[in-house]
Every structure is written in structure tokens, then in C-alpha cells.
Chain A
């Protein structure tokens, strides 16, 4: 939990005023979160949890499950359309780069990326 606060510290004004180690301070808002190994790792965990109850090759089902797990709501039609387009592109990238040996593996990588982006999204950080 503490690690999560450090990663997102820029979003917690009170917390950002605490004194922590050198390494924890040296991050620039967005990119630090995008590239933080901790978040990448946990995006993978999120995908694993989704795979228990959802078919990751069914993009609509995967998107809806990811939104529910990470943002506690279902996606709007616009978000669903945008995420569907995104997953198609990511799957193409992984297939053409031969990062994934089959369609299922490519889908898994793409959904992991989707989970990562939802965790990095402003909505995840700002309560309404």
C-alpha cells in the first residue's frame, strides 16, 4: 500500500510533503507511473485475475471486466469503442513483432496493457 502511495504521491498533496528517500522523489508525474516496474507488474496481476472470470480474447468482455475491476464501473459506449480499437492495435503489434506465439498470448499482452493504462488514467487517481 505504501509503495502505491509513493508512486502516486504527486496526486496526494499532503503526502507529497512528507520526506522520503531520494529515489522516491525523483520521478516526473506521468512518465514515472507509466514506466514504474511495480505498476507494470501489477497490471500483469490484474490481467491474471481477469482471466479467471473473463475470456480475454472476447475484447468487449475483457474491457468491461477491466473497467469493473480497476475503476469499479462499466465503460461508456465511447470508452468501449476506443478500448476495442486499442486492443486490436496492440494485438497486431504483438503478433507482428512475434512477441506472442498465438492469438491468445497476444490478447493477454494487450489486456495487460489495457489494465496498465487504466491504472495510470487520471480517473484512477482522482475521486469524483
Chain B
């Protein structure tokens, strides 16, 4: 339409139109190597060249193309869910022989047995406690890692570690790294979407999905889980479509003129792209979060008709719909019950776990089962994890304190070995002692499954090629035993 005339009026080369200028911004995004758009895909045919989330070729063979992270913040108690410890039961009430590292001050060095019964499930014989009967049905489908360890025993630091490989904020999250490396497969949606309980945030709030030193387009975007996915996504009814179209053209031109005086400012570049993405999102995002088209069987599978399971189940279902639509990374947070850190059972471990487990068990299992039924299981990697584990000793009367030395998590799909129980903790579950896996090892392995070399994936920042795993410092390695 008027872009060439506008460019002339602005006194610039007609080839340097608003769109052309955006195309030229490739260099402004530093080290991004923007690939050609996928041919033959109608959805992508209209994607603007130079778009920071344009899909990029995978440098090496990939087993997965998307990730759903089910982040169980608070510190899941490994010896009460996934890692049975008969010796802990046998020596309940006795002192821990060597003492343990604690975080809170009201710990007694007294061993506390799990109040829950364990049972082996499936052909693999994977152990689960009675708290997670739905997840237990997936014993032959998931890859359980019992020997995880991390580097800090406070929530914010450990959550940042799981998110970004660093204990401090200011670094991009894994989801941002994947969008930077791979782009997104749907130009009408963000590459990294966050789904949390509408009731609030974890202790680190929005920092968990921060873009750090990368452009803002690589930050996680929160979607509301009902109604309008993003606040004020649609113009008020009084705004005429033709008038809004003129608005956007003007705004784009004014921002481009402003950018010329601030060359290389990635925040400004990203804001321009965000305006364009937001405009394209109006239809697509609303369509994706509308679960009314799902079958009754699917609603039942995710527990959407039960108030206890509906919230988290809905977020799990939305996660499936988002990756189905081409979103690269979806992060799901649990219900904020009994507390904003729902797995943080400093007291009443039995009551706390009985509150949170039924709320996440069914939705988690439903997601994996649904992905399998739809043939998406191989291409979508599911990660169920907290930020650290809990201690085998008693805090207060009946709680457990934070533990950075051992925790359990499971991976599913994306080429992780199904039915594998990997690694082991000591006799009480305090420390990972066999086949230890660090958070950086896990990140390296995940990147490998997504077709990325963790030693080479880097972003130049302040003269340093920053990497998610920083392998020379952390010793990160691909854990090949975990890969099918």
C-alpha cells in the first residue's frame, strides 16, 4: 500500500521502507543467523523476513522440536514420591549418622520416614508412592532421574539454576535459549509461553522467564488460561479496523525513525517486533486457548470437570495445544496450594503433599497420554521437575527442609529412555551418589535432543560468548545413558 510513498516522503531510499528496514535489522540482532522460512507451510509463508522468531534450521539431528516444562516449584520431596528409602523407614526417629546441610534453623538431626506407601509399576518396575497414582501408570513411558543435584538450597537461586543454569537472575531461561536457537514454528504466537496459576507467582515472579541479556522477544510471555489470553489483546469495539491499520502504520514509521537515532538498541527493535506479533496474535492466541472444541473424553482425561484438578489440568491441556500450534517452549506452573511454593513442605509433610499431589497428578499423566495418542510424544519433550529436593530429617515436628544434594525429576518423550530409572541416592535419600546428574548436564542433554550442541550454542554479551551450560566452568556433559 503506502509504504513506498511513505518512504519517499520521509526522504529515504524507497527500498528502505518500513518493512525493508525491518529486514535489514538482521544484523542488529547480533549473532542471529536468520534462516529462510519454511517453504510450503501456509502458516509461515507470510512471516516477515528478519523476524527474530523465524524458524531456523537445526544444526544436528534432533529428536524433539518442542518442550513442555512442568515446573513443580517449592522442592519436591523425592523420598515421598519417587525414591523409596527402606532404611529411612527402618531407622525412623534415629539420628542421621553424619548430619546434613540444612537451610532452616529448626531442624532436628532425626530421620523422618515417609508416611506414604510405595509400589512398583509397569514392566519397568519403576517405584512410585501412593500420592501419584496417575503418573505411576506411565512407569514404562517416562525416564526417572533420581540422582539430580543442584548448587543452592534456597528457592530463587535454585529455580534460576533450573531455568537458566545460573543461581542469579539476569540470564536467559532455557525457553529463551531455544527460541533464540530454533525460532518458533508459528509466527502468530510467542515462542515461549508461560502458564501459571492465576492466583499468583512463585517467589521469583516473572524473573524466572526473563530474557536476561537477550532481546526481549526471547522472554516468556504469560498467557491467561481463560478468556482473553493476553490482556487488551483486542481493540475496543469503538476502534475502526481501517483507523487501527493506519495507527499501526504510523506507529511503525515513527518507531523506525526513532530507532535510526538509537541503532543497535535491541529493546527498541524488539518492541517493534512485539507490536507486530501482538497484532498477529489476536486471532491465533484466542483460538489456541479456546478448549471448547476438545472432546468430552479429553476434558475427562485432564480432569477439567473436577474443581480439584481443573486448574492445572487446563494448563496442561493448553500446553499441548500450544506446542501443537508450533510454540517452542511452554512452561506450566502448579496450583498455589497449600502455599505459593506448593511443594515447600517445611511442616506437615503428609498434609502438604496430600494437598498438592492430587492437583497435579492427573493433569501431568493426561498430558503425556494425550501426546502419545496424538503421535506427538517423540517430538515433544516433557520435563517434570522442581528446583531441589528435601531432607530425610525432621524439620519442626513433621516437615522436611530444602536439600540441594539430591532430587528426583522425570523426562518423557523427546528420545529420553522410557521406563528407565537412572542414578541413586544414599540409603536415606540425602545425596545423589550414583550416576550423578547436574542441572547443567540435564540442560546439555536436553539441547542435544533438540539438535543443539551445548558447547557451541552461544550469545555474545559484553565480549563473552555466553552459553546456557558454560561447560568449561560447570563441566556440563551429555548424559548418553538417558538417551534412547
Which residues of A line the B interface, CB within 8 A?
Answer: 10-11, 16-19, 22-23, 25-37, 40, 76-79, 81-83, 85-86, 89-90, 93-94, 97, 99, 113-114, 116-118, 120-123, 125-126, 128
Chain A residues near B222 (CB-CB < 8 A):
25-26
Q: A30-B271, A31-B278, A34-B275 are in contact. Are A123 and B254 (CB under 8 A)?
A: yes
Among candidates B6, B201, B231, B262, residue contacting A126 with C-beta atoms closer than 8 Å:
B262
Chain B residues near A79 (CB-CB < 8 A):
254, 257
Q: Does B246 contact A (CB under 8 A)?
A: yes
A17 touching B205, Cβ below 8 Å: yes
Most interface-central of A10, A35, A40, A120 (chain B CB within 10 A) = A35
Determine, out of B22-30, B235-243, B434-442, the stretch whose residues face the partner at the interface.
B235-243
Bound CA span A25–B209, Å = 13
Chain B residues near A29 (CB-CB < 8 A):
216, 271, 274-275, 278
Proximity string of chain B (216-239) to chain A, C-beta cutoff 8 Å, 1 when within and 0 when not: 100001111000001111111001
Among candidates A25, A86, A99, residue contacting B206 with C-beta atoms closer than 8 Å:
A25
Chain A residues near B295 (CB-CB < 8 A):
none
B231 touching A94, Cβ below 8 Å: no
Chain A residues near B255 (CB-CB < 8 A):
121-123
Chain A residues near B232 (CB-CB < 8 A):
27, 31-37
A86 touching B234, Cβ below 8 Å: no
B230 touching A32, Cβ below 8 Å: yes
Q: Does B261 contact A (CB under 8 A)?
A: yes
Chain B residues near A97 (CB-CB < 8 A):
240, 242
B278 touching A30, Cβ below 8 Å: yes
- When C-beta atoms are compared, the residue in chain B nearest to A10 turns out to be B216
B259 touching A31, Cβ below 8 Å: no
Which residues of B line the A interface, CB within 8 A?
Answer: 2, 6, 9-11, 190, 198-201, 205-207, 216, 221-224, 230-236, 239-240, 242-243, 246-247, 249-251, 253-255, 257-259, 261-262, 265, 267-268, 271-272, 274-275, 277-279, 281-282
Chain A residues near B10 (CB-CB < 8 A):
78, 81-82
Bound CA span A109–B267, Å = 31
Chain A residues near B250 (CB-CB < 8 A):
82-83, 86, 114, 117
Q: How many contacts between A and B, using CB within 8 angstroms?
A: 144
B247 touching A31, Cβ below 8 Å: no
Bound CA span A113–B199, Å = 36
Chain B residues near A114 (CB-CB < 8 A):
250
Q: A26-B222, A30-B275 are in contact. Are A82 and B253 (CB under 8 A)?
A: yes
Q: A17-B206, A31-B230, A36-B232 are in contact. Are A122 and B278 (CB under 8 A)?
A: no
Chain B residues near A23 (CB-CB < 8 A):
231
Among candidates B6, B274, B275, residue contacting A85 with C-beta atoms closer than 8 Å:
B6
A27 touching B258, Cβ below 8 Å: no
A93 touching B281, Cβ below 8 Å: no
**Min CB gap B276→A, angstroms:** 8
Q: A34-B275, A35-B235, A78-B9 are in contact. Are A28 and B230 (CB under 8 A)?
A: yes
Bound CA span A31–B206, Å = 19
- When C-beta atoms are compared, the residue in chain A nearest to B233 turns out to be A31
Bound CA span A126–B250, Å = 18
Chain A residues near B243 (CB-CB < 8 A):
90, 93-94, 113
Chain B residues near A90 (CB-CB < 8 A):
243, 246
B11 touching A78, Cβ below 8 Å: yes
* Selected A-B contacts with CB under 8 Å, 17 pairs: A16-B206, A17-B206, A22-B200, A27-B232, A28-B277, A29-B275, A31-B282, A32-B230, A32-B233, A77-B11, A78-B10, A86-B249, A94-B240, A113-B246, A121-B251, A122-B254, A126-B268
Chain B residues near A123 (CB-CB < 8 A):
254-255, 258
Bound CA span A30–B275, Å = 5
**Min CB gap B405→A, angstroms:** 30
Chain A residues near B259 (CB-CB < 8 A):
122
A93 touching B253, Cβ below 8 Å: no
**Min CB gap B171→A, angstroms:** 14
Chain B residues near A22 (CB-CB < 8 A):
198-200, 224
Among candidates A27, A78, A128, residue contacting B230 with C-beta atoms closer than 8 Å:
A27
Among candidates A34, A120, A122, A128, residue contacting B235 with C-beta atoms closer than 8 Å:
A34
Chain B residues near A81 (CB-CB < 8 A):
9-10
Bound CA span A79–B258, Å = 10
A19 touching B231, Cβ below 8 Å: no
Which 3 A-B pairs have CB atoms at the shortest separation, nearest pair first?
A: A31-B278, A30-B275, A35-B232
Bound CA span A121–B268, Å = 10
B262 touching A117, Cβ below 8 Å: no
- When C-beta atoms are compared, the residue in chain A nearest to B232 turns out to be A35
Q: A32-B231, A32-B278, A35-B239 are in contact. List 11 more A-B contacts (CB 8 A).
A: A18-B205, A25-B206, A26-B230, A30-B275, A30-B277, A35-B236, A77-B11, A78-B9, A82-B9, A82-B257, A123-B255
Bound CA span A23–B282, Å = 18
**Min CB gap A22→B, angstroms:** 5
